[in-house]
Amino acid sequence: MKRTTGAIAMAGITALLLTACGGDTESEDPTSPAADEADAPEGDDEGATSDAGDAADETAAGGEGDAAGETAGAPAASDGTSLVIWADDLRAAAIEPLTETFTADTGVEVKVQVVAQEKLREQFKDAVGQGAGPDITIGAHDWLGELVQNNVVAPVQIAPDVAEQFVPESIEAVTFEGQLYAVPYSVESLALIRNTDLAPEVPASMEELVENGQAMVEAGDTELILAQELGKEGNAYSMYPYVSAYGGGIFPLLEEGGFDGSKAILDSPETLQGAEKLAWLGEVGALSTNQDASNVIPNFIDGKAAYMVSGPWAIDQITEGGINYAIDPIPDFADGGETAPFLGVQTFYVSAESLNPQIAQTFVQEYVPTEEIQVGMFEADRRPPALTAAAEQVQSQDEDVEAWSAAAEGGTPMPNIPQMNAVWGPLGKATADIVGGADPAERMATAQTEVASALGGR
Amino acid sequence: MSQAPVGQPVATPPWVLAVKWLLIALTLAACTYLAWLAVEGGSWLIVTVVAFLAMSVLVVYSTRRGITMKYLLPGLILLALFQVWPIAYTVATAFTNYGDGHSLSKEEAIEAIQAQSVRPAPDSARYGMSVAIPEGEEIATAELSFLLTRPAQEGATGEHVVDGQELFVGTLEGLEPLPVEGVTLRGNGTIGAAPGYRVLTLVEANERAQDVSAFAVPVDGDLGIKAATGTQAFVGRATTTYNPDADTMTTLEGTVYVARDGNFVPQDGQGPALPTGWTENVGLDNFSSIFTDSTLRNGFVKIFVWNLVFPLLSVGSTFLLGMLLALLFNDPRLRGKGIYRSLLILPYALPIFVTAIVWAAMFNQDFGMINEVTGLNIDWLGDPWAARAAVLITNLWLGFPYMFLICTGALQSIPTDVREAASVDGAGPFRTLWSVVMPLLLVAVGPLLVASFAFNFNNFGLIYLLTGGGPFDATNSQVGNTDLLITFAYRLALESGTPNIGLASAVSIIIFLLVGALSYVGFRQSKALEEVN
Amino acid sequence: MSQPTAAGVPGAVPAEVPGPAVGTVPDTGTVRVPPGQKPRTGVWWRHALAVLALVWALFPVLFILSAALNPAGTLNSASPVPTAFSFDNFSDLFASQTFPFWSWFRNSLVVAGLGTVFQVFIGAAAAFAFSRLRWRGRRPGLMALLLSQMFPALLAFPALYLMFLKIGDVLPAIGLNTLWGLLLVYLGGAMGANVWLLKGYFDTIPKELDEAAKMDGASHARIFFTMTLRLVAPILATVGILAFVALWGEFLLASIFLLDQERRTLGVGLYSLNLADRNKYFGMFCAGALIASLPPVVVYLTLQKQLIGGLTQGSVK
């Protein structure tokens, strides 16, 4: 390597030099640092999540936007260097204390801002698109394609040996067109949640579940065979395990991983076989478009259903409602159809416009893959950690975790390609119609046509 | 007011003048401060706007002329800045393809595509990295280098290996071994100190963050060592490169992408476009697609019809109920009117996002109260006609208190003689109501009815929260049976598979023209403008 | 105000009354029983109908109350009768660190309160100009104001977002995520929103009063501040309550504007509380919504007398 052939190499890596995370043009914009500083003091007045030592920060928040605001906070960050993380209410409370190690190691203060859950994705996209926003945001993996389209997330060049420590599906979930864009911390999926007082036995198949459910309804013990979200507009996420049970699905899988977003397979014979099962579940009354987010969990808690298909978010309410429950994988169909759910992966994204790119990358690549953070996040949202070691650690504390992991087995991450946005609506509405009695083949064909025309029109 | 001679102004009290000039001075001072901040921030647009504000305040309030402007200026300034400007901006967007995947400039998109394409070379080494500058130089200006470490080959020793780590220094020229003398390693295997260098901490290096991001140590052709984090580096290459002469993107495999319609698409037409595109002017394409795309066009007509029917029926039904209730309570003998009235306005006082959720739950076919109580089994939210009825019922509930308030007021003003006269004349109560009270009321509340129509024409909240525009027909998940134009445009802009803000802006312009024309006609009918000449 | 009161002449009840003789006749407050007729048969049927109206108005509210009192916080959509009584949801809401309800409440009071005051003042000033001053372009001006209210404002939100993001770079105090910025946007519509209603009422104040004051040598400002504003107090109250209720319930724009929990208004806060974690907080949400409905009712009760007079005359002329 003694060669000083810089000139030659330079030509080859011009592109590399250009690739300053897409943020270097922004550095010439004199307004951007101001934006960052304006955000900084605001992170502090989350009375919600901060604890002692906030007195200084309170004053900083009072003098918002002026110079006094920037210098408040940890002494190590007296030059104003700080990371801003966006998260929803639940996760903001969880991540804030977990950043202490990072601050102690690096002297970089971390400020966590709460953003409403339903607004986070849009706000992040809009803010970063305008050169503002946080350095890091916590978000779901299926936002990825859309975020890349608008160039608001930076690639994460995680070390291969670190990537290997994660549940493989979680790494797959944050990979888009062969590039890694986020570091995962939890994997969630739907599962069968059973009221153990009403239904002590695990049903061996969907058919058995329906049979037991019908018996309970006839006996007057319950009112519903199964509680599961669908709604008038349908729900492709909730119905996916049935639709994909025979190898069908939404997009064909690519050999190199990921999905081929250029064509949908909603009308493939395998998908149709699943849709038939959907129709059957609707016919026997196990699924209904009248079951939606507003009544599924309440019905289960009121004992109106012995079985519910839902996710980890339901557990708090079930516990509060005093229901004895057990978690199992969604039963397969008796003829071998495997009901594997979609996986949702929660991740840390780095903004493409971060003014502190190395610091942000250090946090997500070197601190997020630690048991401290992964277990800490688990304690807040009860989703099984994505880091294998952390998942093993919490399994000993919480028996649900093992059950959730089992339920996730065989599941595929929700497609993170932007084309998926064109599918949720049409496929969701098709599932509602099929459960409501529409002919599966015809209805899936219509959905396919609609998706295809949306994809073609891009 | 004493005997001031005609035409001679009453002397204004000094304190009033003082307050006036104090206010003017304060405004100017505030403007100066704002302008100074804006200069600091480098935003010349804001400087110009603030200067213009200051000028107009000075001109309008410090002279005796232009009395009208004295009353209109505050409102006009706010109107121009926060209503007219956003509208103008939205109108401009309608002529572009702005939306998801088309939110960058072309230059930004080209840069982004290349940045996203940087991949680690297969089986390449991962380095521990420290950012360093020559000793004694300023961080802000010094030439950067990466001090790199990587696990040495087994058994390797020598002047570049310490503690099993092989040491390098990487510059823009290339990678060279670093002698171990004087070098100390940190716990994580990176170099903590080296003679002749000042190793920067994470926070110090952050001053040069963009330079560090752009920094690449060339190794082996097009490969380079780049920072992965603040302490780690990887060997990678850009797998997609831009050719400015041909305006094409080429991947390592040799696929060529050409620029077309705001995206790089494969030259051979096979396969999808590169995900990141850019904003382009598209002229009238958005408008023409509303009228030519069959889905949009059919949807538009269908939605438009409902968009006329819904506010008409809503205004009619809420007015009728509000009026009848107002008549009911318009009897002085009735006790407890205050309590009745305050309870009746609760539907108006509760936030709509609460009540809409409750109504949606009550309309649920299986679990809702409405079917339960009436014994019906109507699929309120799933059947197109039932859903429209549900929307109207809910809006009747939400809207009648407003009409009740208005009619209660207006009824007070109808002279009692009028009704008496009608009675004396032998007209029954209904005839009195129909031919005497109603016409008077309608004249009185006419402009408010038009305003109510305009509000309901764009009643986004109700539809969005109650039905989401649904139910939808099997063939088209973009056009719902209870959609209004505004919920339809919102779906196009934000919630469809291909969010397209440009198209949604075009729809909003059409909505604007339609509702404007309708309201204009409505006002002409109500003769409200005749007073103005 | 010299419309013929044709309807007052016995035997001349017209099918259409030309120009109502309203606004000048005070509500007598007593019932005059038409001669030759017996008094109507009491008011019990009015009470009966009133109770029916209350049932219609309140039964959905009972669902909210029932969910707020239900410790599990679930909506029992089939019956509004509470299945359990507890104030847990209220105390949870007040104690919540994550959802600072009282900060939201305070923010809403500030935004809706100040917004109402400024909207009324700006509107009144504009109405004065349109009603009292002679200048060219009044008619197109009024029409343009009306039209500016017709734009589907929701679709201009991205532009507002962008604008305030840039403003915030330079003037953080009024940028995104500040109540002041939000207030400014709300005031953008101040002139257009109510000028029609206000102008109508201003027109009913006899111009002779102005003329007389002018003869006395009073300046236009003196007339406006010391005379006109007093005379139009009822319509100011009316516009005040309409503006207050509208600002109090606004959440679409505010949810784009306000990020920090501490800086949210009630509308934004409650809306996101409902959506957070899949209906987990529905009970707290309903409890908060019930409390949120109180200020509009209080404002209404305070201004009730004024309100009735204001709507009457303003809308007529």
Residues B428-450 pLDDT 10s: 777 777 777 788 777 767 767 87
The shortest C-alpha distance from B121 to chain C (Å) reads: 39
CA distance linking residue A323 with residue A307, whole number of Å = 12
Interface of A with B in 332-371 (CB under 8 A): 352, 355-359, 361-362, 365-366
Say whether the peptide bond before residue A329 is cis (omega within 30 degrees of 0): no
Domain range enclosing B79: 14-93
What are φ and ψ of residue B478, in 5° steps?
Answer: -95, -25
| Residue B226 resides in a domain | yes
Q: DSSP secondary-structure letter at A114? A: E
| Residue B326 resides in a domain | yes
User: How many CB atoms sit inside 10 A of residue B372's CB?
Assistant: 15
Residue A99 confidence (pLDDT): 92
Range with the poorest average pLDDT among A58-72, A91-105, B195-209, B315-329: A58-72
Q: Is the pLDDT of residue B321 over 60?
A: yes
**ipTM exceeds 0.85:** no
| Residue B228 resides in a domain | yes
- Domains contained in chain C, CATH given: 41-86 (no CATH), 99-316 (1.10.3720.10)
Structure tokens at A352: 């493409």
Range with the poorest average pLDDT among A63-67, B466-470, C250-254: A63-67
Q: How confident is the model at residue C78 (pLDDT cuts 50, 70, 90)?
A: low
Q: Which of B216, B238, B260 is the last residue of a domain?
A: B238
Which residue shows structure tokens 């309201």? Answer: B519
Q: How confident is the model at residue B477 (pLDDT cuts 50, 70, 90)?
A: confident
Q: Is the pLDDT of residue B305 over 70?
A: yes
Q: Give the residue-averaged pLDDT of C168-178.
A: 83
CA distance linking residue B175 with residue B167, whole number of Å = 10
B423 and B317 belong to one structural domain: yes
Strand (E) or helix (H) holding A112 = strand A109-114
B26 and B142 belong to one structural domain: no
Q: Give the residue-averaged pLDDT of B292-309.
A: 83
Averaged confidence pLDDT in chain B: 84
Q: Give the residue-averaged pLDDT of B323-334.
A: 82
Distant-in-sequence, close-in-space partners of C31: CB < 8 Å, separation ≥ 6? B331, B332, B333
The shortest C-alpha distance from C75 to chain A (Å) reads: 7
Q: Give the residue-averaged pLDDT of B224-252.
A: 91
Give the residue from chain A lying closest to C70, CA to CA: A321
pTM attached to this predicted model: 0.82
- Residue in C286, C275, C266 with CA at minimum distance from that of residue C90: C286
B219 and B349 belong to one structural domain: no
More confidently predicted of A377 and C37? A377
Strand (E) or helix (H) holding A417 = none
Q: Is the pLDDT of residue A329 over 60?
A: yes
Q: Give the residue-averaged pLDDT of C237-252.
A: 86
CB contact under 8 A, A148 and B228: no
User: How many CB atoms sit inside 10 A of residue C109's CB?
Assistant: 14
Percent of chain C at pLDDT exceeding 90: 14
- Per CB-CB distance under 8 Å, the chain B contacts of C251 are 351, 353
Percent of chain A at pLDDT exceeding 90: 56
State the burial class of residue B230 (Cβ atoms within 10 Å of its Cβ: 0-12, 13-18, 19+). Answer: buried
Residue A152 confidence (pLDDT): 93
Tally the domains of chain B: 3
Structure tokens at B503: 């198209």
Q: Give the residue-averaged pLDDT of C213-225.
A: 84
CB contact under 8 A, C312 and B412: yes
| Residue B258 resides in a domain | no
Which residues of A make CB contacts under 8 Å with C? 31-32, 34-35, 38, 42, 45-49, 64-65, 88-90, 93, 113-119, 123, 126-127, 130, 132, 293-295, 297-298, 301-302, 313-314, 316-317, 320-321
Structure tokens at C246: 């509208």
B331 and B406 belong to one structural domain: yes
Q: Give the residue-averaged pLDDT of B229-245.
A: 91
- Alpha-carbon distances of A389 from A364, A385, A395, C83, rounded to whole Å: 17, 9, 10, 45
Q: How confident is the model at residue B497 (pLDDT cuts 50, 70, 90)?
A: low
CB contact under 8 A, C297 and B72: no
Q: How confident is the model at residue A210 (pLDDT cuts 50, 70, 90)?
A: very high
User: How many CB atoms sit inside 10 A of residue B433's CB?
Assistant: 17
3-state SS track over B113-143: HHHHCEEECCCCCEEEEEEEEECCCCCCCCC
Residue A327 confidence (pLDDT): 95
Q: How confident is the model at residue B156 (pLDDT cuts 50, 70, 90)?
A: low
Strands A191-195 and A307-310, bridge-based pairing: antiparallel
B440 and B332 belong to one structural domain: yes
pLDDT digits (tens, 9 = 90+) for A335-361: 989 999 999 999 999 999 999 999 999
Tell me which of 3.90.550.10, 3.40.640.10, 3.40.190.10, 3.10.129.10 is the CATH number of domain A189-343+416-456: 3.40.190.10
CATH architecture, range A31-58+80-188+345-401: 3-Layer(aba) Sandwich (3.40)
CA distance linking residue B58 with residue B488, whole number of Å = 46
Range with the poorest average pLDDT among B51-60, C37-46, C306-315: C306-315
CB contact under 8 A, A31 and C100: no
Spatial contact of A429 and A157, defined as CB atoms under 8 Å apart: no
Residues of chain A with CATH 3.40.190.10: 31-58+80-188+345-401, 189-343+416-456
- Per CB-CB distance under 8 Å, the chain A contacts of C164 are none
B207 and B308 belong to one structural domain: no
Spatial contact of B318 and B396, defined as CB atoms under 8 Å apart: yes
B130 and B80 belong to one structural domain: no
- Residue in A377, A372, A342, A368 with CA at minimum distance from that of residue A240: A342
| Residue B331 resides in a domain | yes
B145 and B193 belong to one structural domain: yes
- Per CB-CB distance under 8 Å, the chain C contacts of B79 are 145, 148, 188-192
For the four alpha carbons of C125, C127, C132 and C137, in that order, the dihedral sign comes to positive
Which residue shows structure tokens 């056009």? Answer: B479
Range with the poorest average pLDDT among A146-150, B497-501, C289-293: B497-501
User: Which CATH number goes with the domain that contains B527?
Assistant: 1.10.3720.10
Dihedral through CA A220, CA A224, CA A227, CA A232, nearest 10? -150
The shortest C-alpha distance from C242 to chain A (Å) reads: 29
- Per CB-CB distance under 8 Å, the chain A contacts of C72 are 298, 301, 317, 320-321
B509 and B379 belong to one structural domain: yes
Q: Where are the beta strands (DSSP E) in B63-174?
A: 118-120, 126-134, 145-151, 161-162, 165-170
- Per CB-CB distance under 8 Å, the chain B contacts of A355 are 209
Q: Give the residue-averaged pLDDT of A263-292.
A: 93
State the burial class of residue B18 (Cβ atoms within 10 Å of its Cβ: 0-12, 13-18, 19+). Answer: exposed
CA distance linking residue A85 with residue A87, whole number of Å = 7
DSSP A66-99: SHHHHH-S-GGGTT--EEEEEE-HHHHHHHHHHT
User: Which CATH number goes with the domain that contains B55?
Assistant: 1.20.58
- Per CB-CB distance under 8 Å, the chain C contacts of A34 are 169-170, 172
Residue B8 confidence (pLDDT): 54
B324 and B447 belong to one structural domain: yes
CA distance linking residue B173 with residue B161, whole number of Å = 22
More confidently predicted of B9 and B158? B158
B471 and B338 belong to one structural domain: yes
pLDDT digits (tens, 9 = 90+) for A211-228: 999 999 999 999 999 999
CA distance linking residue C122 with residue C160, whole number of Å = 21
Residue C282 confidence (pLDDT): 84
For the four alpha carbons of C62, C65, C69 and C73, in that order, the dihedral sign comes to positive
